[in-house]
Structure 1
């Protein structure tokens, strides 16, 4: 993943995580720090790009990727570090994180019913 892709992925993940009520203050703070880094990197256009709620996600990401690439964001160590910090705080794309090594009869999900017969 390139530096610009890392930043765009972190912004998208942080924005969607921010829509939930259960997001931690650490995630909110990391997302805010990343937004501030992007705004410093893209003066004038950054806020318009980051707050474009009416734009389809694919279009938003393409525009942001283009602006970040043109600005040299892939070489901005502060910006890249802020994106990495945010991504380390977010779950890795799954609602559940399960380590089931050696387990029997494991089930993940919501509202499940399970019957185990060991014999």
Structure 2
């Protein structure tokens, strides 16, 4: 998953979880942390900050604009924000996270490199030919 897609997914999932009474504190805290980091990037940008606070259905409707604003602000290249987005998804969808659904990939010379980690500290790096 591209970092920008991961970040948008985490914002959407976090917003949905935060709206539910049944959501755990860990998910809500991870989501609030992600939002705070992104809002720092949007300092002085009222629209950008408002988009980060949007309701899930508003995030979905404005996904293209949000993606553009996040990319322009360099959010998709900020390791701290990417890790915070991964943390939201790890808390919200632990099974999907463990299965590698939210791994960020890097494409280099026609290959996609994925990095997957476990709680034991093991890191697996694999390469597969890039498909169009």
Q: Greater strand share, 1 or 2?
A: 2
TM-score (norm 1): 0.69
- 2:31 matched to which residue of 1? 31
Pairs aligned (count): 94
- 2:88 matched to which residue of 1? 86
> Distance between the aligned counterparts of 1:63 and 1:52, measured in 2?
13
> Distance between the aligned counterparts of 1:25 and 1:86, measured in 2?
11
- Return structure 1 stretches of 4+ with deviation > 6 angstroms: none
Kindly report which structure 2 residues correspond to 1:10-21, keeping only aligned pairs within 5 A, or say none: 10-21=10-21
Structure of greater relative contact order (alpha carbons < 8 Å, 6+ residues apart): 1
Q: Check whether the contact 2:51–2:59 (CA below 8 A) recurs between aligned residues.
A: no
Over the aligned positions, Cα root-mean-square deviation in angstroms equals 2.3
Change (3 A) 1:47 1:4: same
Bigger Cα displacement from structure 2, 76-85 vs 13-22 = 13-22
- 1:37: how far off? 0.9
TM-score (norm 2): 0.62
Kindly report which structure 2 residues correspond to 1:1-119, keeping only aligned pairs within 5 A, or say none: 1-43=1-43, 44=45, 45-53=47-55, 56-91=58-93
